[in-house]
Copies of this chain bind each other. A is one copy, B any other.
Amino acid sequence: MQRSIVTAIADMMPVAGDCFLMAVPFEPEPLPGQFVMLSFGDGRTDPFLPRPISIFDWEGGMLTLLIRVVGRGTLLLGRQAAGAAVRVTGPLGNSFPDDAGRVCFIGGGIGVAPLFYAAKRSKAKDRSFILGFRSADESYLTGEFSEVAPVRFVSDDGSLGEKMFPHEKLDALVAAGERPDLVVTCGPEKMMAAVHGVAKKHGLRDVHSLESRMGCGIGACLGCRVNMPGASVLVCKEGAVFDGSIFEEKQ
């Protein structure tokens, strides 16, 4: 059951790398991989549209969002103080599968956001992360992720973990015999496509959380349609989680 409510921000916390955590009371309990549409709840009309934001965490009626400041909307949202009114619509979209024994969660940059809750809630026997950041300075919540499952960090400059890309780390792990039943990724599209390449090479099952500009998040505006190599998809309604085959040219 989805809802659209105006509620007061319970807590705001700055995080490294231009990010912040926003906690808002929200029911019902979302599924891992779902997202919400977040906007101002005070009646201003600028910024106008809500922003799609993944579930970073949900616990006992408190929803936590991890948001990176990239433009005007996220900038102004980040300046809201606890007590300010926001509108939250959700939970939206499909979710990550949860039927595998060994899952590897791969996140790049702000794409790590949905993976915390996904790993925390996963019933898989064996869960691990590969988290990629540009550098140690631009990484965040590394401790929090480590508490949920073992993390392999990689970074562009080697300042955090190994100096390689997430898909290279996955390749190396599989080569070393650590073969996941399912790979779950979220991050830049190039990273996800590269991970799919590795998954395909090794015959691994992989799912990916896509991004697209959204107007409504509920399938009403048709604004989020993207033409992927594998299909033209309405990200908010058919996703945001898609099978890796979406990165392959349709025959």
Contacts and interface: CB of A to CB of B under 8 A. Distances in A.
A45 B45 CA distance: 9
Interface stretch (A78-86, A87-95, A116-124, A214-222): A78-86
A190 interface: no
In the complex this chain forms, how many copies of it are found?
A: 2
A76 B42 contact: yes
Contacts of A79: 42, 84
Interface residues of A, number: 13
Nearest to A79: B42
Contacts of A42: 76, 79
Contact of A45 (B46, B75, B81, B84): B46
Q: Is the interface of A mostly helix, strand, loop or mixed?
A: loop
A13 to B, nearest CB: 15
Interface in A53-111: 72, 75-76, 79, 81, 83-84
Contacts of A72: 43
Nearest to A40: B44
Contact of A44 (B43, B47, B81, B83): B47
B76 A44 contact: yes
Contacts of A45: 46
A83 B81 CA distance: 10
A79 B43 CA distance: 12
Given A44-B47, A81-B83, 13 more contacts: A42-B76, A42-B79, A43-B72, A43-B75, A43-B76, A44-B44, A44-B46, A44-B76, A45-B46, A46-B46, A79-B84, A81-B81, A81-B84
